Amino acid sequence: MLSTAETTPFFLQAEVLKPFISDELSAATTPIFYRDKSGRKMVGYDARILPQVAEVYLKFRDQWRKDGKSVPHTMEKVITAADVVIRGLATVGIIALVDEATGYQAVRDRDALQQVLDLYLRKEFAAWAKRFPDEFYRQIYRLKGWEWMGMQKNRVPLIGKYTNDLVYDRLAPGILTELRERNPRDERGNRKAKHHQWLTEGVGHPRLAEHLYGLIGLMRAFPEGAWAAFKVALQNAYPKKGSNLDIFIDASP
């Protein structure tokens, strides 16, 4: 069984903080041990204790000022951060209460997403220009174990599906859905433009290029026919937008 010292997070172990740590907070700081995707030992804590931890530092600051003492220099940055956290949570909490009461939350979420999409997408599609390197398609064929005949041959029908999965689904939240709305298929099943013609020059195209060349580098790391293994690594390296991301503290020696 772990001792109190062993279960107290490093950010609450200072002796001067102990008078301000409640029994409730002490009980909630049980470490959560796990391994990250690469197998390293990690430790984390319940994120819901963050406001209470910030309050500990602010109570310490207030008491020391009341006693006419100066806050230790080593704790100034942490106390400033704690103040920012509490102010930020207060603002977010008020906004959340108002949104819940008025039903505005759904509108706020849509507006926030639209601001992101507007950075990536044009109002009208631009003239066609080659944006996808031939190497991207060659690597798909190689990993699938298909014969590569070059760009002069018609690509297999699944290539469009793979392009959406590997690229647009991982470029920005909701971008594929928005592209399909702006660039719908006609009655014959064709689109008026290429999806990438809707991307903006300032953000959309640079992010597409960055993503593609990172993707190609990852693809090259796998042997021919290793599509399944590549897809596992892909989800770790470039998770689909909207997937959960790990936040952790490295506890390895």
Query: Quick check: helix, strand or coil at residue 117?
Result: helix
Ordered per-residue pLDDT tens for the chain, 253 residues: 444 455 678 888 888 899 999 888 888 888 888 887 778 888 888 877 888 888 999 999 999 889 998 888 888 888 888 888 888 777 666 555 555 555 555 555 555 656 666 667 666 766 766 788 889 999 999 999 998 888 777 677 788 899 989 998 888 888 888 888 888 888 888 888 888 887 888 888 888 888 898 999 999 999 999 999 999 999 888 888 754 333 333 333 3
Q: Is residue 173 within 8 Å of 94, Cβ to Cβ?
A: no
Query: Quick check: helix, strand or coil at residue 53?
Result: helix
Q: Is residue 174 within 8 Å of 111, Cβ to Cβ?
A: no
